[in-house]
């Protein structure tokens, strides 16, 4: 369902530098930042994730490598037409409480990243994307003190799938270039003006 090895690597690297941002939240933030026509700068995202920290030595190298790999993997999966994108969350073998907490953090990160991205491109969101924002706001408040029964597991799985589809939907409405936008970003061709 998700990439538990990558999650573990990023989480360990962030813990090593005492980052306040979790692996899930960092990934959600990155996905929100990718919801703009302009590709977000990796360095800017990393600075946001590591805000207030000054990691040095091997922990600094490790966290920068982990975040760089996460950035490139996320970009590639979001731009890939084969729909390989998945939110970065703990392994399904982890206790449901831990996975639910990470799910809420992922949503918080996404909303934060989307807010930054929308600040750069302040046009209103389409109705479908607004509905997703409302849903993610609710999911961010997920009750993490829940029993790990079969119904809760099914609900969790459905929420993860919803996040995957919702991210791709918002990105489609906010990041993909408009067919009327000039490819080079310059002035529109004159034949469109007549």
* Domains in the chain, CATH or no CATH each: 4-176 (1.20.120.740)
Sign of CA dihedral 62, 64, 68, 70: positive
Show the beta-strand stretches assigned E in the chain. Answer: none
Please write the tens of the pLDDT for every residue from 27-79.
999 999 998 888 899 999 999 999 999 889 999 999 999 999 999 999 999 98
* Contact between residue 17 and residue 52 where contact means Cβ atoms under 8 Å apart: no
Tell me, what DSSP letter sits at residue 94? S
Please write the tens of the pLDDT for every residue from 66-81.
999 999 999 999 988 7
Torsion, Cα 124 129 131 135, to 10 degrees, reads: -120
> Measuring CA to CA, how many Å separate 65 from each of 26, 54, 62, 89?
14, 15, 5, 19
Please write the tens of the pLDDT for every residue from 85-127.
999 999 999 999 999 999 999 999 999 999 988 876 556 788 8
Please write the tens of the pLDDT for every residue from 146-167.
777 889 999 999 999 999 999 9
Torsion, Cα 60 64 65 71, to 10 degrees, reads: 160
Indicate the pTM of the whole model. 0.85
């Amino acid at each position: 369902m998700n990439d538990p090895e990558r999650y573990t690597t990023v989480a360990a690297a962030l813990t090593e530098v005492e980052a306040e941002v979790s692996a899930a939240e960092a990934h959600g933030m990155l996905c929100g930042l990718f919801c703009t026509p302009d590709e977000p700068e990796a360095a800017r995202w990393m600075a946001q994730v590591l805000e207030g920290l000054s990691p040095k030595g091997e922990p600094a190298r490790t966290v920068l490598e982990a975040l760089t790999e996460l950035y490139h993997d996320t970009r590639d999966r979001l731009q890939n037409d084969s729909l390989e994108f998945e939110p970065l969350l703990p392994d399904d073998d982890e206790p449901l409480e831990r996975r639910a907490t990470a799910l809420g953090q992922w949503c918080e990160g996404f909303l934060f990243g989307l807010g930054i991205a929308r600040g750069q491109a302040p046009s209103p969101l389409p109705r479908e994307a607004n509905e997703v924002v409302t849903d993610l706001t609710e999911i961010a408040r997920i009750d993490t003190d829940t029993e790990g029964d079969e119904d809760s597991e099914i609900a969790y799985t459905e929420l993860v799938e919803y996040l995957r589809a919702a991210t791709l939907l918002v990105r489609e409405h906010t990041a993909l270039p408009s067919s009327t936008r000039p490819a080079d970003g310059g002035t529109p061709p004159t034949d469109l003006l007549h």
